[in-house]
Structure 1
Amino acid sequence: MPENPHATFTVESAVELAVVERSGFVESRHIGAAVVLAADGTVVTQLGDITTPIYARSALKPLQALAAMQAGVPLRGAQVALACASHTGSLDHMDVVEGMLKAAGVKEEQLQCPAAWPQDENARHWLIRSEQGRSKLAFNCSGKHAAFLWACTENGWDTHSYLEPNHPMQQRVRSVIEEYSGERIAHLGIDGCGAPVAAISLTGLARAYSRLAKAPGDKNSNARAATIATSMLDYPWAVQGKGEPNTVVMDELEIIAKIGAEGVLALATSTGVSVAIKVLDGNQRATTLVGLTLLAASGAVDIPGVSSVLEKVVEPVLGGGRPVGKIRLGHAVSALLD
């Protein structure tokens, strides 16, 4: 455990997950921790500290969406995926969120996430040309916030304080996180969008994703959890964006994939094999490479399919506009393929 109880694991408890090689020289190393769980919840692979809490950040969004649905929000189709999303703010993303707000009977101004320029280039140019400027709809968490507001209008809850930890919506979120992760929340903070964010272990995060991913095939599971798992795979564009890593993984491999800020990634197959990763320096660029490799090493997915996806989503290392290196696996991960 770290010396400070309100801190994640330390460098001494981490392993080298990936390195960045340029012109034959390793110039950067990404250290962190990762866990692979079997469908029954047993640990298949442990790399580094998998029990000390991390802020799971946006990897919690499917659980937050589940809490909103359990509070009576009638999300359907792409709306479900948008409630789980860290989206790029495309016009399609913003249209779905706007529809959620209309159904809830609330306005964009009531969203308490910040206004932002979209990551999506076409949407950004449209906002500039139309002189609308930054938009709350374009913020990557707007779907989650719209679902929270919708829950308020469905239940007669206060819409001004929906991000407060003692608000009925956030109390339900904490309950769902603890139920699906199988552990108590270790610490509660404030996420980048202003919502409460829970600290749980990587093992707890992987356990939660395993339960979500298995839900569609389990007649005894929560029907709303099954809807979330199915919708994320049916509308992968809504969860992140066309060409983005999470979307490509879900579209081509049918594996639930969800990033979280500061180097967090959770993956889960429909059989319930799951992975949770935290890169200690907060960088996201190696997480999909490491996560899919861990699934392949466990036998949960086939290596050719993984290789095809990784060619599309792993950032190239360029020099003068041409490849001069690559992001490659650290020894702790590559050794699992031998």
Structure 2
Amino acid sequence: MPRNSHATFTVDSAVELAVIERSGFIESRHIGSAVVLSADGQVVTELGDIRTPIYARSTLKPFQAMASMQAGVPLRGAQVALACASHVGSLEHMDVVETMLKAAGVTEDDLRCPADWPYDEAARNWLLRSEKGKSRLAFNCSGKHAAFLWACTENGWDKSTYLDPTHPLQEQIRAVIEEYTEEEIAHMGIDGCGAPVAAVSLTGLARAYSTLAKAPGNKNSNARAATIATSMLDYPWAIQGTGQPNTIVMDELGVIAKIGAEGVLVMATDQGVSVAVKVLDGNIRATSLVGLTLLAAAEAIEVPAVARVLEKVVDPVLGGGVPVGRMRLGSAVAALLD
């Protein structure tokens, strides 16, 4: 993959993944690309352009966490999941991140992610009542950053520059990403939290998650990969939050699920069947519908179970507070079910 590739795929090479129907009228169309890989890494389903790089955004967090662990960070239990999380900033989320910082011998002030209000209502109200204001602990990437800091203290690396692309930890992260995607990173940028973010293909991203998801059942796999996959499923509340789509999918289906900003989602079963989705307009609302449907169409998960979960993770189309429409599959995805 060439390093001078500085743009993702275009609408001309994408397909219709989902539509929003209101009062019998199609109001919006979500265009994008998606790929399903079999357990042995073969392309089962190819929709749109699955080879041009995308910024994988927060779907890379498990591999960033893996690099931190390989650098000596002794993450355990929910800490592992928090290092992989895009969390809602609940009090439970913030408590776990605080334990990570304390174990590393650092404080919230050492985090280089922005301060933010929690998405979680109870935590936000607590910060308002206590007049603490925005908190770096509440930022959705705080667990990842806490693991980064812990890697620095374990190795004597500079804590103030841990987000620099030339920092030893970031160099290790790049190596892990390339190992698991089995492709050269096409481009490096800066993520919303300030950390470096890699551009890889949807196929490479799906391949990485396939290997990760299979790790617990593969005696020859990286033990840290097995720990990460197991912890994500054991602590699904930590990955996003109670009632949130990724958490529901993992809790009810036992499928690893991870969103990324700008319309990215990856899922993988414990057998290693994986799906990667990129919605070109950057909206994530259709990703769970598309991803789960593609896994069901590939017979990787049962249709009735998917239907039950979709009722919980797909937002209704409301008018005056009552349903007046629905999100439904676009033509490219619906054709797979015929």
- The two structures have a TM-score, normalised by structure 2, of 0.99
User: 1:125-162 deviations in whole A, cap 9, x for unaligned?
Assistant: 00000000000000000000000000000000000000
Task: Give the equivalent residue in structure 1 for 2:108.
Answer: 108
CA distance in 2: counterparts of 1:133 and 1:146, whole angstroms: 20
Asked if structure 1 preserves the Cα contact closer than 8 Å seen for 2:5 and 2:53, the reply is no
1:237 alignment partner AA: W
CA distance, structure 2, for counterparts of residue 63 and residue 274 of structure 1: 16
Counterpart in 2 of 1:335?
A: 335
Query: What is the aligned-residue RMSD (CA, Å)?
Result: 1.0
CA contact (8 A) 2:78 2:231 kept: yes
Residue 204 of structure 1: aligned partner: 204
Using the alignment, how far apart are the partners of 2:5 and 2:11 within structure 1? 15
* 1:5 CA drift (Å): 3.0
- Partner residue of 1:310? 310
- 2:82 maps to what in 1? 82
Q: Which residue type is aligned with residue 121 of structure 2? A: E
Indicate if the aligned counterparts of 2:20 and 2:26 stay in contact, CA closer than 8 A. yes
**Which residue does 2:69 correspond to in 1?**
69
Counterpart of 1:268 in structure 2 is 268
Q: Which residue of 1 aligns with 2:128?
A: 128
Asked whether the 8 Å contact 2:163–2:170 carries over to 1, the reply is yes
Structure 2 match to 1:23: 23
Tell me what 1:161 maps to: 161
Counterpart in the other structure of 1:98: 98
Q: Residue type of the partner of 2:51?
A: T
Work out the CA distance in 2 between the residues paired with 1:114 and 1:317: 33
User: Any unmatched runs of 5+ in structure 2?
Assistant: none
Q: Give the match's secondary structure for 1:169.
A: helix
Following the alignment from structure 1 to structure 2, what is the Cα–Cα distance between the partners of residues 105 and 316? 45
Separation in structure 2 between the aligned mates of residue 271 and residue 181 of structure 1, nearest angstrom: 17
SS at structure 1 position matched to 2:145? helix
Q: 1:121 and 1:106 mapped to 2: Cα distance? A: 27
Distance 1:75 1:334 in 2: 42
Mapped partners of 1:17, 1:208: distance in 2:
23
Q: Deviations over 1:253-280 (max 9, x none)?
A: 0000000000000000000000000000
Matches within 5 A, 1:123-272: 123-272=123-272
Scaled by the length of structure 1, what TM-score is found? 0.99
Segments of structure 1 that go 5 or more residues without pairing to the other structure are none
CA distance in 2, matches of 1:246, 1:124: 21
Distance 2:85 2:39 in 1: 24
Task: State the Cα distance separating 1:337 from its structure 2 match.
Answer: 1.1
